[in-house]
Amino acid sequence: MTVIRPLATLMLGILLAVAAHAVDTEVPLADPVQQERYETLIHELRCLQCRSQSLADSEVDLAGELRSEVRRLVAEGKSEAQVKAFLTARYGDYILFRPPLNERTWLLWLAPALLLLGGLLIAWRVVRHRTGLVSGDPEEFDAGDREP
Amino acid sequence: MTAELGQIALILALCLALGQAVFGLIGAGFGWGNWMAAVRPATLGQAGFVILAFLLLVSAFVGNDFSVQYVALNSNSELPTFYRVAAVWGAHEGSMLLWVLILALWSAAVALLSRSLPETFSSRVLGVLGIISSGILLFILLTSNPFLRAVPAPFDGNDLNPLLQDFALTIHPPILYTGYVGFAVAFAFACAAMIEGKLDQTWARWTRPWTTVAWLFLTIGITLGSWWAYYELGWGGWWMWDPVENASFMPWLAGTALIHSLAVTEKRGLFRNWTLLLALFTFSLSLLGTFLVRSGIIVSVHAFASDPLRGIFILGLLAVFILGALTLYAWRAGQLRSDAGFEWWSRECFLLLNNVLLVIAAVLILLGTLYPLMLALMKLGTISVGPPYFQLVFLIPVLPLIALLIIGMHSAWKRARIAPLRQRVVTCLIVGALGAIALSFVYTGRVRAMVLIGLLLAIATMASAAWVPFDYRQRRVPMPRGALGMAIAHFGVGLFAVGAAVASAYQIERDVSLAPGQSANVAGYEFRYVTMRSVEGPNYHAREADVVITDAQGGLVTTLHPQKRTYLVQQQPMTEAGIDVSWKRDLFVALGEDLGNGAWSMRLQYKPLIRYLWLGSLLMAFGGLMATTDRRYRTELAQARAETTVPVRP
Amino acid sequence: MKLRFFLPAAAVAVLCASLWYGLNAIRGGQYDPQLIESPLIGRAAPDFIAENLLEPAQQVARSQFLGKPFVLNVWGTWCVGCREEHGALLAIAKETDVPIVGISWKDDRQLARDWLAQLGNPYHVVGVDPEGKIAINWGVYGAPESFLVGADGRVLHKRIGPMTLDIWHQDFVPLLKKTGSSPQ
Q: Minimal CA–CA distance to B262: which of B147, B156, B158, B185?
A: B185
Give the count of Cβ contacts less than 8 A between chain A and B.
213
| Residues facing residue C72 across a β-bridge | C101, C147
CB–CB contact B386 A97 (8 Å):
yes
Sheet containing strand C155-160, strands side by side: C59-61, C49-52, C125-129, C100-105, C70-75, C145-149, C155-160
Residue B645 CB neighbours (<10 A): 13
B176 vs B224: CA distance, rounded Å: 9
Angle between helices B39-62 and B119-143 (to 10 degrees): 30
CATH number at residue A95: 1.10.8.640
With an 8 Å Cβ cutoff, the interface of chain A facing chain C consists of 48-49, 61-62, 65-66, 68-69, 88-92, 94
A65 vs A96: CA distance, rounded Å: 16
**How large is the C-alpha radius of gyration of chain A?**
26
* Partners of residue A92 in chain C, C-beta under 8 Å: 36-39, 139
Query: H or E element: which one contains A116?
Result: helix A106-131
A66 vs A78: CA distance, rounded Å: 15
Mean pLDDT of all residues belonging to chain A: 79
Cβ-defined contacts of A102-106 (< 8 Å, 24+)? A104/B375, A104/B380, A104/B381, A104/B383, A105/B371, A105/B375, A105/B383
The pLDDT of residue A15 is above 70: no
What b/e sequence results for B14-23 when a residue is b if at least 16 CB atoms lie within 10 Å of its CB, and e otherwise?
bbbbbbbbbb
Domain span including residue A48: 7-100
A54 vs A70: CA distance, rounded Å: 13
Residues C90-142: pLDDT tens digits? 999 999 989 999 999 999 999 999 999 999 999 999 999 998 899 999 999 98
Are B544 and A57 in contact by the 8 Å Cβ rule? The answer is no
Residue C95 CB neighbours (<10 A): 14
Are B183 and B280 in contact by the 8 Å Cβ rule? The answer is no
Query: Which residues, including other chains, have CB under 8 Å from residue B480's CB and lie 6 or more apart?
Result: A147, B630, B631, B632
Residue A57 forms part of a structural domain: yes
Residues across chain A: 148
Give the CA count within 13 Å in the CB-facing half-sphere of A40.
Answer: 13
DSSP one-letter string for chain C: --GGGGHHHHHHHHHHHHHHHHHHHHHTTS--TTPPPPTTBTSBPPP-EEEESS-TTSEEEGGGGTTS-EEEEEE-TT-HHHHHHHHHHHHHHHH--S-EEEEEES--HHHHHHHHHHH----SEEEEETTSHHHHHTT--SS-EEEEE-TTSBEEEEEES---HHHIIIIIHHHHHHTT----
* Partners of residue B327 in chain C, C-beta under 8 Å: 9
DSSP class of residue B574? E
| Residues facing residue B578 across a β-bridge | B589
Residue A131's pLDDT band, with cuts at 50, 70 and 90, is confident
CB–CB contact B377 C18 (8 Å):
yes
CB–CB contact C31 B309 (8 Å):
no
Angle between helices B201-232 and B611-628 (to 10 degrees): 160
Q: Which chains neighbour B (Cβ–Cβ under 8 Å, 3 or more pairs)? A: A, C
Q: Is C40 on the interface with A (CB under 8 A)?
A: yes
Omega prior to B152 cis, within 30 of 0:
yes
Q: What's the rounded mean pLDDT across residues A125-139? A: 78
Residue B649 CB neighbours (<10 A): 10
Report B:375-414 residues touching C (Cβ under 8 A): 376-377, 381-382
The pLDDT of residue A136 is above 80: no
The pLDDT of residue A140 is above 60: no
A138 vs B204: CA distance, rounded Å: 25
Report A:82-121 residues touching B (Cβ under 8 A): 92-100, 104-105, 107-108, 111-113, 115-116, 119-120
Query: Which residues, including other chains, have CB under 8 Å from residue C168's CB and lie 6 or more apart?
Result: C88, C92, C95
Indicate the residue type of B618: L
The three-state secondary structure class of A141 is coil
Number of domains chain A is built from: 1
Burial grade of B155 (CB within 10 A; 0-12, 13-18, 19 or more): exposed
Query: H or E element: which one contains B497?
Result: helix B481-506
**Single pTM value for the model:** 0.91
Query: H or E element: which one contains B243?
Result: helix B243-268
Q: Minimal CA–CA distance to A51: which of B164, B374, B386?
A: B386
B433 vs B414: CA distance, rounded Å: 31
Lowest mean pLDDT among A44-53, B51-60, B247-256, C7-16: A44-53
Q: Minimal CA–CA distance to B547: which of B568, B565, B526, B567?
A: B526
User: What is the predicted pLDDT for the residue at B641?
Assistant: 41
A19 vs A36: CA distance, rounded Å: 25
User: What is the predicted pLDDT for the residue at A18?
Assistant: 29
Mean pLDDT in runs of 10 for chain B (650 residues)?
92 96 94 93 96 95 91 87 90 94 97 90 96 96 92 83 83 94 96 92 92 97 93 85 93 97 92 94 95 86 79 93 94 83 89 96 96 90 91 94 93 81 91 92 74 94 94 88 94 96 89 90 91 88 92 89 86 85 91 86 91 96 92 57 45
CB–CB contact C6 B330 (8 Å):
yes
Residue A117 forms part of a structural domain: no
Q: Is B53 left (phi over 0), alpha (psi -120 to 50) or beta?
A: alpha
The three-state secondary structure class of B287 is helix
Residue C37's pLDDT band, with cuts at 50, 70 and 90, is confident
B130 vs B45: CA distance, rounded Å: 12
Residue A33 forms part of a structural domain: yes
Query: Which residues, including other chains, have CB under 8 Å from residue C67's CB and lie 6 or more apart?
Result: C151, C153
Are B102 and B76 in contact by the 8 Å Cβ rule? The answer is no
CB–CB contact B341 A16 (8 Å):
no
C5 vs C2: CA distance, rounded Å: 6
Q: Is C25 on the interface with B (CB under 8 A)?
A: yes
| Residues facing residue C52 across a β-bridge | C127
Q: Is A145 on the interface with B (CB under 8 A)?
A: yes
Greatest alpha-carbon span in chain A: 76
Q: Mind telling me how many Å the CA of A62 is from chain C's nearest CA?
A: 7
The pLDDT of residue A17 is above 50: no
Q: Mind telling me how many Å the CA of A5 is from chain B's nearest CA?
A: 7
Percent of the residues in chain A that have a pLDDT greater than 90, as a whole number: 46
Query: Which residues, including other chains, have CB under 8 Å from residue B635's CB and lie 6 or more apart?
Result: none
B9 vs B3: CA distance, rounded Å: 10
Q: What angle do CA B195, B198, B204 make, to 5 degrees?
A: 110
User: What is the predicted pLDDT for the residue at A3?
Assistant: 36
The pLDDT of residue C179 is above 80: no
Q: What's the rounded mean pLDDT across residues C149-177? A: 91
Q: Where are the domains of chain B?
A: 1-165, 418-507+611-617, 508-608
Residue A139 forms part of a structural domain: no
Residue A13 forms part of a structural domain: yes
CB–CB contact C1 B297 (8 Å):
no
Residues B406-450: pLDDT tens digits? 999 998 888 877 777 888 999 999 999 999 998 888 886 666 788
Residue A14's pLDDT band, with cuts at 50, 70 and 90, is very low
Pick among A91, A93, A147 to test the B interface (most B CBs inside 10 A): A147
Residues across chain B: 650
Among the partner residues A9, A92, A112, nearest to B161 by beta-carbon distance = A9
CB–CB contact B353 A23 (8 Å):
no
B555 vs B107: CA distance, rounded Å: 57
Residue A137 forms part of a structural domain: no
* Partners of residue A135 in chain B, C-beta under 8 Å: 341
Find the residue in B nearest to C36 (Cα): B382
Residue B632 CB neighbours (<10 A): 18
Query: Which residues, including other chains, have CB under 8 Å from residue B429's CB and lie 6 or more apart?
Result: B406, B456, B460
CB–CB contact B323 C13 (8 Å):
yes
Residue A25's pLDDT band, with cuts at 50, 70 and 90, is low
